[in-house]
Structure 1
Amino acid sequence: MKPRTVVLAGASGFIGRYFRERFVEEGWQVRTVGRGASADAQWNDDGAITTALDGAELLVNLAGRSVNCRYNVRNRREIMDSRVLTTRELGRAVSACEDPPRTWINSSTGTIYRHAEDRPQSEDSGELGSGFSVDVARAWEDELDAAVVPATRKVPLRIAIVLGPGGGVMGPFRNLARLGLGGYMGPGTQKFSWIHVEDLFRVVLFAHAHGELTGPLNAASPYPVDNRELMSLVRQSMRVPFGIPTPSWLLEAGAVLIRTQTELVLKSRWVEPRKLLDAGFAFEYPCLTGALNHIANPTRSLT
């Protein structure tokens, strides 16, 4: 039987590498679009991208420069372009296919919602926020919406913070805990919406298999935690007994020194996966304790 084919765009990062390995394990043929020499198609080569996409069943776009940086003029432009221009390029390529992918899942971000400590933000009732990160998310989704690909179902995936062994945001948190600085950050009441990378992979397969899922789709665990609980669980997973809290003013100063933004830890992200839950999706890692235990002991089976 001919293997199913998926095209991964932006497959060189933490999520992309994990997805590539898991798709192969599941029996898929994987083609890639990227900047490295090993990619099947290079960015800025519409013909090669169209060839890679033609006959594929699924397109998953993960391309995007890291937001873990200071938002100066140059970085802002690179963050925006790395999302919008790659999505535009994929739209041109898909529209040129004789046999286009049935589903196009395009990364977006749960950061598109406002700072929320009062209630969860679902796809239908969530309120969009403001600021640079939200502007990027809006432009990203608008570009996907503008792609004229009538034979392909387009799904913007609003992804929460992704956790997993060997990558994601847990490294810095674990390092702070090792140094005794693993206390809560800022007020500690800000929500932390997250998803284990294995569940994110399973969400992609689920969304592809369920043609009734349209429009934005929130990819987040149904059980977010606040920052106090997050840091407590990080310490527990590492068997570190205490951690010194970090006030907002110190975070601001430290962010300048390490060239990042405090938004990454101070914004309250409360993303509710309402469409997934209503469609019957079952999370492998619904609770943060299990996810962190797996990250701390990654040799254990995922099942």
Structure 2
Amino acid sequence: MSDSPSTVVLCGASGYIGRYLRRYYDDRGIRVRTVGRGTSSDATWSDHRSLVDVLDGSDLVVNLAGRSVSCRYNKTNADEIMSSRIQTTAHLGRALADVKTTPELWVNASTGTIYRDSRDRPMDERSGDIGSGFSVEVARAWERELFDADVAVRKVALRMSIVLGAGGGAINPIIDLARVGLGGKMGDGGQKFSWVHVADVARALDHLYDQTDISGPVNVATPFPVTNEQMMQQVRSALGRSHGLPTPAWLLQFGARVIRTEAELVLKSRWVDPQVLTGSGFEFRYPKLRSALANIASETPRGLLPVALG
């Protein structure tokens, strides 16, 4: 078994997952170096030398950088979504080529949305069908930039499903809907909802660092997805709400335009199978949604929660 990393480079540490990982590593006494756009980071994307210095001698690089996809996919936003992922990954590849001591592992964020809309079978890393559309093209370009980088570093593309946890991220708007009485199914409610607790994202990174034979795409989702209707029912139950009005697809389309996002984020059926993780012995702390929601509810304040609009 490998030792834990002593130095981790976090790129995109200001987002929900990045902030969680920063605390996770700090609490374990692991040194964290950050890469971002602001002066508070240890290196910036525009300064190649600082990027090389921060990466040199690190053990693990985790790149989460990229503009939020919770927005309307107009040309300006679409260009930013694509470029923010491709350019930062390219910067890392060029910088890693110049370091004296390379890290053991480079993990680059990707997304389970790379697979097609699926209600008939789960999508694993080996046999999953790649989908079509803008979100899929972003994911494919993102992963291609990672794996084409000419550096002798083990690489993993983290195909994450919807990440849930207290304090922000994807769960806040769902909680708000339930609290205002709109916690029923979305659309027909039959679309699969693949998810993972943020604590298990951090633990999966530990597992991937330790399992030195794993490289390539890795799905990060529990083995127990639910339908949208089941998910909303369990959210209501965790919050002590017995009823919730459903939201038909046409209303979701309208509402998405109002809050400047895309209805695809809740209407697409994502059925992501974590075959690489489970096949290599990884055990989820929160395999079932009910226990994950109980944890989240216990750490979530009353009232409406802040939601970032696109």
Short-chain TM bin: over 0.9
Deviation, 1:298, is: 2.3
1:102 aligns with 2:104: yes
Cα deviation 1:143-170 (Å, max 9, x = unaligned): 00111111x1011110001000101211
Q: 2:245: which partner in 1?
A: 244
Which residue does the alignment assign to 2:54? 52
In the other structure, the counterpart of 1:206 is: 207
> 3-state DSSP class of the match of 1:64?
coil
**Count of matched residue positions in the alignment of Structure 1 and Structure 2:** 298
Identify if the C-alpha distance between structure 1 residues 3 and 273 changes in structure 2 by more than 3 Å, giving closer, same or farther.
closer
Per-residue deviation, residues 207-259 of structure 1 (Å, max 9, x unmatched): 01101111100011110100000000010010011001111111111111111
From 9, 19, 30, the equivalent of 2:32 is 30
| Counterpart residue number, 1:64 | 66
Residue 136 (structure 1) shift: 0.1
Deviation at 1:106, TM superposition (A): 0.4
Q: Runs in 1 of length 4+ with deviation above 4 angstroms?
A: none
Do residues 231 (structure 1) and 242 (structure 2) align? no
**Residue 44 of structure 1: how far off its partner (Å):** 1.2
Using the TM superposition, give the Cα deviation of residue 114 of structure 1 relative to its aligned residue in structure 2, in angstroms: 0.2
Counterpart of 2:216 in 1: which secondary structure? coil
Deviations 1:248-277 (A, max 9, x none): 111111111111100000000000000111
- CA–CA distance in 2 between the matches of 1:37 and 1:289? 41
Q: Separation in 1 of the partners of 2:158 and 2:106?
A: 10
The TM-score with structure 2 as length reference comes to: 0.94
Structure 2 unaligned spans of 5+: 301-310
State which drifts further: 8-17 or 290-299: 290-299
**Paired letter, 1:78:** E
Would the aligned equivalents of 2:225 and 2:271 in 1 still touch at CA under 8 Å?
A: yes
Q: Are residues 232 and 35 of structure 1, via their aligned partners in 2, closer, same or farther at CA, if it must alter by over 3 Å?
A: same
> Which amino acid in structure 2 is aligned with residue 148 of structure 1?
D
Q: 1:165·1:298 contact (CA, 8 Å) conserved in 2?
A: yes
Q: CA deviation at 1:53?
A: 0.4
Contact 2:36 / 2:43 at 8 angstroms: preserved in 1? Answer: yes
Provide the rounded CA distance (Å) in 2 between the counterparts of 1:213 and 1:284: 21
Give the whole-Å Cα distance in 2 for the aligned partners of 1:143 and 1:183: 40
Matching of residues 215-226 of structure 1 within 5 Å: 215-226=216-227
Give 2:13's aligned amino acid: A
Q: TM-score, normalised by structure 1?
A: 0.97
> What secondary structure is seen at the aligned counterpart in 2 of 1:183?
coil
1:286 is matched with: 287
Q: Following the alignment from structure 1 to structure 2, what is the Cα–Cα distance between the partners of residues 218 and 119?
A: 15
Q: Does 1:122 align with 2:124?
A: yes
Match of 1:80 among 82, 85, 92: 82
Aligned to 1:9: 11
Tell me which residue corresponds to 1:184: 185
Alpha-carbon offset, residue 184 of structure 1: 0.1
Deviations 1:174-225 (A, max 9, x none): 1111111100000100000000000000001110110111110001111010
Contact 1:3 1:27 in 2 (8 A): no
Residue aligning to 2:158: 157
Unaligned runs of 5+ in 1: none
SS in 2 for 1:212: coil
2:162 equivalent to 1:174: no
CA shift, 1:15, in A, is 0.4
Preserved CA contact (<8 Å) 1:23 1:30: yes
1:96 counterpart letter in structure 2: D
Cα pair 1:105 1:156 within 8 Å, conserved: yes
C-alpha spacing 1:149/1:3, structure 2 compared with 1 (3 Å): closer
Q: Distance in 2 between matches of 1:164 and 1:237?
A: 13
Q: Cα distance 1:142–1:3, how it changes in 2: closer, same or farther (>3 A)?
A: closer
Structure 1 residue 3: deviation in Å? Answer: 7.6
1:108 match: secondary structure: strand
